[in-house]
C-alpha cells in the first residue's frame, strides 16, 4: 500500500505485526521455519479478514539467543529486541492507530513481547483509547489433537511433530529424512517452577518432541485450527468498543 492509503485508514483498524525468528530447527528442518509457518498462518488469516485489518510485513528477527550454540541462528538480544518491538508499536501509534497486535510465531519472543507492550503502556499511561496486545498463534485455545486424534503431541515443541507437519504441508522439499531423528522428551525443568535454560541444556540435535509422527495432512489440520484461532481473536479486537477492559 502507498502511504496515502495507509493514512486514510480508520485509526480503529487493528494493526497486526507478525513476529517470528530465524533459528536452528534440528537436523531435519530449515532455520527459517518459524517465519515460514507464521507467514502461512497470517496468509490464511488475511484471506478471511481482507481489508478489515492492516498487516505489516513479518518481522523475521527474533529473540533466539538460547539457540546460538547451533549454527545459522540469528538473534537480537532481549533488551535490543524489546526496544525494537516498542519502536514498531510506537511507530504505528505515531501514525494514529490505536489497536496494535503482535501475533507471534516463536516461543522465545513470548516474554519479550509481553514486556515490551507492558513498558510501552507505562510510557503512554495517559492514553485510555489504546489496545496493545501480544499473542502466540498456538496459545489461542485451539486443540488440534482433538480435531485430528492421530496427532500425538498435545503442545507445541520445537521442530516437533506439529512444526514438522506444518512444514510438510507448505514446503516438503525442506524437510529432511525423518527416519534419522528420534524423540526428545518434553519432560523436566522442575515444573511448575520455570527453570532458566539454553537449548543445548534440553536437546543435543536441536529439536524437542518427536518429528517422526509428522504428516502433511496433520499440518493442514494445524494450519486450519491456528488460522481460525487468529481470525476469532482479531474479530474480538474489531468488536472492541474502545473503552471496556475486555471484549
In angstroms, the CA 106 to CA 137 distance is 9
- How many whole angstroms separate alpha carbon 192 and alpha carbon 227? 29
Share of the chain above pLDDT 70, in %: 100
Section 99-117 average pLDDT: 98
Does any domain span residue 246? no
Domain containing 153: what range? 3-239
User: For position 188, what pLDDT does the model report?
Assistant: 77
pLDDT band at 187 (very low <50, low <70, confident <90, very high): confident
Q: Could you tell me which of 94, 87, 99 has the C-alpha nearest to residue 130?
A: 99
CB under 8 Å to 246, separation ≥6 — which residues? none
Q: Which residues, 6 or more positions from 217, have their beta carbon under 8 angstroms from its beta carbon?
A: 148, 165
| Domain CATH for 139 | 3.40.50.10310
Q: What is the pLDDT of residue 46?
A: 98
Contact 82, 211 (CB under 8 A): no
Residue 247 lies in a domain: no
Does some domain include residue 244?
no
Asked whether residue 128 is domain-assigned, the answer is yes
Q: 52-105: per-residue pLDDT in tens?
A: 999 999 999 999 999 999 999 999 999 999 999 999 999 999 999 999 999 999
Residue 7 is predicted with a pLDDT of: 98
Domain annotation covers residue 154 = yes
Q: How many domains does the chain have?
A: 1
On the 0-12 / 13-18 / 19+ scale of CB atoms within 10 A, 116 is buried
For residues 238 and 234, give the distance between their C-alpha atoms in angstroms, rounded to a whole number. 6
Give the pLDDT band of residue 211 (cuts 50, 70, 90).
very high
56, 241 in Cβ contact below 8 A? no
The pLDDT mean for the chain works out to 97
- The answer to whether residue 111 sits within a structural domain is yes
Provide mean pLDDT across the span 200-206.
96
> Does 225 map to a domain?
yes
Whether the predicted pLDDT of 43 surpasses 90? yes
d(CA 185, CA 107): 17
pLDDT for residue 247: 84
Amino acid at each position: 500500500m502507498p502511504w496515502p492509503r495507509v493514512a486514510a485508514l480508520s485509526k480503529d483498524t487493528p494493526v497486526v505485526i507478525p513476529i517470528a525468528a530465524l533459528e536452528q530447527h534440528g537436523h531435519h528442518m530449515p532455520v527459517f521455519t518459524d517465519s515460514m509457518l507464521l507467514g502461512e498462518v497470517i496468509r490464511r488469516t488475511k484471506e478471511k479478514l481482507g481489508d478489515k485489518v492492516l498487516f505489516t510485513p513479518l518481522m523475521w528477527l527474533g529473540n533466539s539467543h538460547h539457540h546460538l550454540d547451533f549454527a545459522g541462528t540469528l538473534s537480537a538480544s532481549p533488551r535490543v529486541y524489546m526496544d525494537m518491538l516498542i519502536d514498531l508499536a510506537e511507530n504505528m501509534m505515531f501514525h494514529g492507530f490505536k489497536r496494535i497486535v503482535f501475533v507471534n510465531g516463536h516461543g522465545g519472543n513470548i516474554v519479550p513481547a509481553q514486556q515490551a507492550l507492558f513498558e510501552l503502556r507505562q510510557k503512554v499511561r495517559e492514553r485510555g483509547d489504546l489496545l496493545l496486545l501480544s499473542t502466540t498463534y498456538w496459545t489461542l485455545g485451539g486443540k488440534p489433537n482433538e480435531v485430528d486424534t492421530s496427532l500425538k503431541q498435545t503442545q507445541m515443541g520445537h521442530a516437533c511433530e506439529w512444526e514438522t507437519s506444518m512444514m510438510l504441508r507448505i514446503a516438503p522439499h525442506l524437510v529432511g529424512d525423518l527416519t534419522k531423528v528420534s524423540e526428545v522428551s518434553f519432560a523436566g525443568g522442575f515444573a511448575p517452577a520455570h527453570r532458566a535454560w539454553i537449548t543445548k541444556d534440553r536437546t543435543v540435535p536441536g529439536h524437542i518432541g518427536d518429528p517422526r509422527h509428522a504428516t502433511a495432512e496433520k499440518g493442514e489440520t494445524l494450519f486450519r485450527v491456528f488460522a481460525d484461532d487468529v481470525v476469532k481473536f482479531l474479530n474480538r479486537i474489531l468488536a472492541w468498543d474502545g473503552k471496556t477492559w475486555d471484549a
